[in-house]
Every structure is written in C-alpha cells, then in structure tokens.
Structure 1
Amino acid sequence: MKDVTLGLVGVGRIGVMHANNVAALNDVMHPHGINVKLKLTDVAQEHARSVAAGLGAEFLTSVDELIDAGVDGLIIATGTGTHPDLIKAGVDAGIPVFCEKPVGVNVAESLPVLDYISEKGGTVQIGHQRRFDAGYLEAKRAFDAGELGWIHSLRATTGDMTPPPVEFLATSGGLFRDCSVHDFDILRWLTGREIVEVYARGSNNGDPAIGEVGDVDTALAVVTFDDGTLATVAATRYNGAGHDVRLEIQGSKGSLVVGLDEESALKSAEAGITFPAGSPYLTFAERFAAAYVSELAAFVELILGLRPNPCTPRDAVAASKVADAAQESLETGVPVRVAL
C-alpha cells in the first residue's frame, strides 16, 4: 500500500468539503493500493483544529509548517486573493498543487502566475469540477465520437437557489466571473474550440444590494466560437426551484442534455408528466458531490504520474478571459472580442 499525504490550506466552506472528500478518497483509492492521508492548516486555528480532529487529520499552524511536514501535494481552498502566492509556494516546494478556481483575482494577476509555473516546471491542477461529472463526461464522449453530428446550438444554464452573501458578491468580480466561468470552461472543454466573442446582458430584480455592489442577479451571454458555432450561457442567483445546472447540446444527428435527472430543478407543464419526481438539488455541493471526489482522485493520480493534468492553469485562465469579456460586454452593452 502506497501512502499519499495531501496538505490542505483553508477550511472554510469549500475547504471543509475538500477535507471530507479527501477522507472519502480511500474508498476510491484503496482498491488501487493507495492510502491517502490529510494534513491541514488555516489562519482560523481553533476551527481548523476542530476539523482536523473530526477527520483524524493532522493540524499544522502555518503553510510553511504544512509544506515542511512532507506533503506530496498541496490543496488550496482559501480566498481568491491568496491563490497566486500559495500556488508559488507549492511550486517552489516542488510538489503538485491543486487550487480552486480561479488562478487569481483577474486575468492580469493570473498571467504572471502562469509564467512562474512554466519557468519553475510546476504542476498545478485548477478546480473546475464539472469536467469530472458523469453527465458532462458522457456528453464529451458522444461529441468526440461524432454521435451528435455537427453542433448547431449549445445552451448552458447555472442557477443558484439563493444568492450568496452580498459581502461575497462585492469582491467576487461579478456573476460571470464567479458563476458562469464554469460554463465557459465546460464549453471550451467539450468542444475543443475557443470562444472568440461575447455579447452579454443582465438584470436586477432581487435584492437591490446586489446592484449596489456592482453585480447583477441574472445574466445571459451569447458566445461565438472560432468556427461560428453559437452558444448561450444563462445564470441567476434566484432559481427558487433548486440548484439548476444543465447543458443542452443540439447537433445535426442528435441532442443530449446534461443535468436532466430525477433531481432536476424543473417541472413539466404537460399533462400527465411526473418527471422529474425527485427532490431538487439545493446547492452545487449536492449536485456535484461525486465530481468533487473524482476531481481529487484525479489529483492523486496526477501526483503519482498516472495521468496528465485534467485542468491546467492555462485552461482556467482561458475561461476567465471569456468571463472578463462577458463582464465588459455587460458594462458596455456591446459585443466584446475575447483576448486569446
């Protein structure tokens, strides 16, 4: 049995989820002869100690102490503003890094980090968990196999049931950057093509405080790919029916929908139709629970050299460039070309 020790920085909401998922990894990795251990740290030390104790993990008092403790990989689940320095710390230590998206607060801050990783020969996986969701993987397989023919339309939807705190929205960079960036990433990943132009509109009919901090609660973007294919990306903070993430792919031979299952947050208006009959997902953590575990399993495989990087920093920044263009279009009211 080979031991792999992961070091986790940050045990807020996302960090606690990752900590629990690391604990669950052994159910996945043990059959392959891999035993995963966890060490963690956070500036909120008492909370971090409690999380560590509950999981049988080791608590360290600082990032430097965590890295010096001999971890095989570093998981970064802290605030976005800390990502660049923590990524560099992991790269400098010569260990693979997993970092929640995005690489930096904006593209301009992220580009020097990409150069640093390249110059140092670092390995960094960015957390775009939808790439590990079973539905998206099947859609990717069908697309690559040519089963859908040529694609004429893609429609991506992300709807949170309730908005996050306004304090978060004040620093998130906007709905396109903190939410729709997942859709932009998955569209690039699925099609293998670049998005070259975005035209966006938004509205505010919910809490006025969202508009007061410069954000919108609902937005729609029309994106154009480099081969002329069109897609729409819709997002809202107020999807009261539940957490709704779907992707419709329509081609000349067939169509597929990702995210259409018994827990989908929608109802049919047609007589006699009871599908979906299940309780809707309430949050992204429920919707992508299995994908988050698979994402970390992929990171362990990356550490061991068993697979290529499933989501590079350059992939993540490419999606962020589209989000930046969408935000600019939202603010200016005109289509914006994406800086490739």
Structure 2
Amino acid sequence: MKIGLIGTGRIGAFHAETLKSVPGVERIVVADADAARARVLADTLGVEAAETLPQLYADGLDGVVVTAATSAHAELIHQALDTGVPVFCEKPVALDVPGTVGVAERAEAGSIPVQIGFQRRFDRGYRAAREALRAGDLGWLHTLRACTSDQSPPPAGYVPTSGGLFRDCSIHDFDILRWLTGREVVSVYAQGANRGESFFAEADDVDTSAALLRFDDDTLATVTATRYNGAGHDVRLEVCGSKGTRIVGLDDRAPLPSAEPHLSWQRSAPYATFMERFHDAYVTELAAFVEVAAGRAENPCSPAEALEALYIAEACDRSRRTGEPVKIADVRAAEAPGTAETEPLEAPAGVGP
C-alpha cells in the first residue's frame, strides 16, 4: 500500500515513522505547506516527499494521513474525498461545529472512510475498562473521574488556534467517556481559571478547567484539565460502579507522588508528554487505519462520533462563560439552521460562579 501524509510537524513525523513499521505499507510519501520541511523529514526517515498536494495525489494513494494545522483539517479531508482516497485525520475535524457537520454529513453520504484520531480508543487500559464494564464486572456506574493534565503549556502561538482547553484537551475525555459507557451526555456545568501565563486569557482561553457531566442514565462524570501539571503528563480515568472499579492510567510512570510515608509505585521517570503516554495506542491506531483503508476493517471512529464529542466541548465552553449549566440538546439546536436557542438549565442549589 502507498500511504500519503500531510503535515510534517511533531505528530506528523511520529506518524510517518510509525507507518514504516505497519505491515502492508510499502511506500510513504510526505508533504507539507513548507516543502523544505517535508524533504528534511523524508531524508531522515528514508521515505518520499511531494513538493505539492497535487503531486502527492498524482501517482495514486491507498490512504492519506492528515496531521496538518487544525485550520486546514476540513479542507484536506474534503480534498482526499474528492480524489476517492480513505483518510485518517487527527482531531479535531474542524475549528467549529459547522465545519465538522459538513465533513460528517459528506462522510456519511459516501463510501470513502474517514477515520478521526482519538487514540485513547486504542489504549490497552481504556479497552480493558470498557470490557470489564460490558462484562458486568463493575455493576451499574455511578461516577466517572477523568483528567488530562499537561506537564507544561504549549507555545503561546498555538493557543489562539487550538480551539480552547475543552476542545483541544478535554475533548479526548468526552470522546472516551461516550465510547466506554455507550451512553450520551445530556448536560454539563463547567468552570475555568487562569493562574499561569497571560497568553491564555489574551486568547480568551483558560489554563485549567473542571466540568461536571450528567449522562442519559444519570451517571455523573467529572472531567478536569490543566496546562500546568508540574509532576508530569497525567491522563487517567476512574470508572466506579456498584460492584467494582477500574482505574485507567495508574501505572508505574503515572506522575502521582504519594503524600503517604513510604508509599511509592514509580519505577521510572513520569510521563512528560502525551506522545510518551500514548505511544502504543498511536501505533495501534495507525495500523487500524491501514486495515480500514484496505477495506478489511470497519471504521473505528467516524466524523459523526467526533461531532458528538465536540458538542460536549462546546457546551462546556458555553457553561464556563455563562456560569450556568448547559444542555447538549441546546447546543445542537443552536447550530441547526433556523432553530432558536433555548434557555440553559437552572443552576443547581449551591452551585454557581
């Protein structure tokens, strides 16, 4: 198979190297808006480089991996579909809901697969927790506690184009909670704060957030995120049920120094980045895409599913701005043409800004 890759930054370089070890991939061609950067990566990895996107597609591709800037995702997905090429795209699908809806509707109407990159679906811990829940080992769920905590903030220039903390970081938690439980979120209440660099507030973003989610079966979930977790990169999920609990991400590299005397499970350096924490999941995810592109497997994450996670992120961002709980149905309605937005939920007693 011949696989193209568009975008040769940090995650693009990682994916290009990963593709070299995926069974069935015989040729890799990389491209970038900065053609020189693509050539450097190609020379480093011993793969091919295309000077332009028309050149990338001219010789025929069996699949294309999109790791370019978020602002280009939707256009690049549509371009791949125009040429009839299966596409894998890192989240998010687009910068906003209308762009995401456009991709989701086109993907659902056609036969060319579009796989969105929510790599946690391929992490062994999340999969084991899902299997335990489905097997009945946990009973009925009452509480989910998810966190995404970066060790250090991204560059200032990245923040204005990131979509904000809920859409950039917590959206992974929103997706995995839906995937793991098989349930839908009906309402959220969220808060955000800035105690770090001023460039977050200047971009109308926050560096720390907390959200309370209510599912359609009344399971409650808390989702927290921060750009300043000095102990290390911490991504975990507690799945708590009436019969048992599973904790995802509690391994010997989790950045969780204990305050209890003489207690420690760390055997090596804590995770520093998301690429360390989810290395194996990324590899499995790309191998799955190759199977999807070859027609041997079903798409594990469609744009329509990514859209559902985005609705939750949009609701959280609206809630942290208004200080009120927000229904997912209201966010969906607000984005539908000709549909008036309804009022947010009344704040619970004792909860508010």
Place the TM-score, normalised by the shorter chain, in its bin.
over 0.9
Cα shift readout 1:65-97 (whole Å, capped 9, x = no counterpart): 111221100111111111111111111211210
* Rounded Cα–Cα distance in structure 1 between residues aligned with 2:163 and 2:284: 28
Kept in 1, the 8 Å contact 2:29–2:56? The answer is yes
Q: For structure 1, list consecutive stretches of 5 or more residues without a partner in the other structure.
A: none
Q: How far did residue 36 of structure 1 move?
A: 3.7
- Residue 108 in 1 paired to residue 105 in 2? no
* Rounded Cα–Cα distance in structure 1 between residues aligned with 2:215 and 2:58: 45
Which residue, 8, 14, 18 being the options, matches 2:5? 8
Cα shift readout 1:224-271 (whole Å, capped 9, x = no counterpart): 101111000000000000000000010011101000001001111222
Which residue, 31, 52, 71 being the options, matches 1:62? 52
Which residue, 70, 74, 78 being the options, matches 2:64? 74
Which residue, 264, 279, 289 being the options, matches 1:289? 279
Instruction: Name the structure 2 match of 1:23.
Output: 20
* Rounded Cα–Cα distance in structure 2 between residues aligned with 1:94 and 1:171: 29
Instruction: Name the structure 2 match of 1:98.
Output: 88
1:240-279 alignment, distance < 5 Å: 240-279=230-269
* Rounded Cα–Cα distance in structure 1 between residues aligned with 2:25 and 2:275: 25
* Rounded Cα–Cα distance in structure 2 between residues aligned with 1:115 and 1:256: 36
* Rounded Cα–Cα distance in structure 1 between residues aligned with 2:328 and 2:273: 30
Number of aligned residue pairs: give it: 330
Kept in 2, the 8 Å contact 1:199–1:222? The answer is yes
Instruction: Name the structure 2 match of 1:198.
Output: 188
What amino acid does structure 2 have at the position aligned with 1:21? Answer: T
* Rounded Cα–Cα distance in structure 2 between residues aligned with 1:178 and 1:227: 27
Instruction: Name the structure 1 match of 2:295.
Output: 305
Kept in 2, the 8 Å contact 1:22–1:36? The answer is no
What amino acid does structure 2 have at the position aligned with 1:12? Answer: G
* Rounded Cα–Cα distance in structure 2 between residues aligned with 1:210 and 1:114: 30
Aligned Cα root-mean-square deviation (Å): 1.1
* Rounded Cα–Cα distance in structure 1 between residues aligned with 2:317 and 2:49: 40
Aligned-partner SS, 2:265: coil
* Rounded Cα–Cα distance in structure 1 between residues aligned with 2:101 and 2:301: 16
What amino acid does structure 2 have at the position aligned with 1:140? Answer: R
> Which shows bigger deviation, 284-293 or 80-89?
80-89
Kept in 1, the 8 Å contact 2:3–2:25? The answer is no
Aligned-partner SS, 1:170: helix
Q: How far did residue 190 of structure 1 move?
A: 0.2
Q: For structure 2, list consecutive stretches of 5 or more residues without a partner in the other structure.
A: 333-353
| Seq. identity, % | 50
* Rounded Cα–Cα distance in structure 1 between residues aligned with 2:178 and 2:8: 30
* Rounded Cα–Cα distance in structure 2 between residues aligned with 1:304 and 1:113: 21
Q: How far did residue 45 of structure 1 move?
A: 1.1
What amino acid does structure 1 have at the position aligned with 2:206? Answer: V
Cα shift readout 1:270-329 (whole Å, capped 9, x = no counterpart): 222121232100000000001111000000111122221111111111101100000000
Q: How far did residue 50 of structure 1 move?
A: 1.1
Q: How far did residue 204 of structure 1 move?
A: 0.9
Kept in 2, the 8 Å contact 1:222–1:232? The answer is yes
Runs of 4+ in 1 over 6 A off after TM superposition: none
Which residue, 115, 128, 131 being the options, matches 1:138? 128
Aligned-partner SS, 2:4: strand
* TM-score (structure 1 length as normaliser): 0.95
Kept in 2, the 8 Å contact 1:92–1:120? The answer is no
What amino acid does structure 2 have at the position aligned with 1:66? Answer: L
* TM-score (structure 2 length as normaliser): 0.91
